[in-house]
Copies of this chain bind each other. A is one copy, B any other.
Amino acid sequence: MQLHSFFNSSASYRVRIALALKGLASDYVPVNIRAGAHRDAEYIDRVNPSAVVPALVDGEFALGQSLAIIDYLDARHPEPRLIPSEPTLRARVLEFAYLISCDIHPVNNLRILKYLDAVLHVTPEQKDAWYKHWIAEGMAGVERMLVRHGQGPWCFGGAPTLADCCLVPQIANAQRMGCDLTLYPLSLAAYRHAMEHPAFDAAQPNKQPDYLGS
């Protein structure tokens, strides 16, 4: 398998965690989205028609979208299972993963911040306020979900799931951008627990071959 990834992409980070938790080897193919490599015709034609990272290539089968890739990996390599099959737990894990992947991450990703700069000419203070506003709004929901439904030491109990694969890159990003996360103690506890696990550690941006600094 090949993973087309950018070290600093949260969505790539999610898949790196999943691969590491399952002990699956893959070739790391860097796609420098800062330099626009995800828009290269060859990448679009051969790997990912939607022109984003990550993408997994498994033999002849190329697949984009981090959560679709993790679902696929769960089907092909079920141990350990990251999207639980028990219905109630499954629903909570998916709800939590979508809260991060649909409601928080997309609004603060690289292309949005670039547009704020290059097209809307916002000030650095406005960009910083934008980032922190959506983190505060989103993380409040994440924390309330963990208060209501979470069970440690992982987000949802005794084993890592897709929820942890989504939470960790989001928290890491927010920390990198200087957000105050002390209001979200359960989220931080789950993050810290995860970072002690070698799979989460190995998947970090600064452990990737294309690491360029933060």
Binding site for B on A (CB under 8 A): 44, 49-52, 61, 63-68, 71-72, 75-76, 87-88, 90-92, 94-95, 98-99, 101-103, 105-107, 111-112, 115, 119-120, 122, 126, 129-130, 133, 137, 140-142, 144-145, 147-149
Collect the chain B residues with CB atoms within 8 Å of residue A144's CB.
44, 49-51
Known: A49-B141, A87-B72, A126-B120. A67 touches B112 (CB 8 A): no
Instruction: Report the bound CA distance from A111 to B106 in whole Å.
Output: 13
The A interface, classified by DSSP as helix, strand, loop or mixed, is helix
Collect the chain B residues with CB atoms within 8 Å of residue A126's CB.
119-120
| Cβ-closest chain B residue relative to A138 | B50
Contact at B112–A119, with CB atoms within 8 Å? no
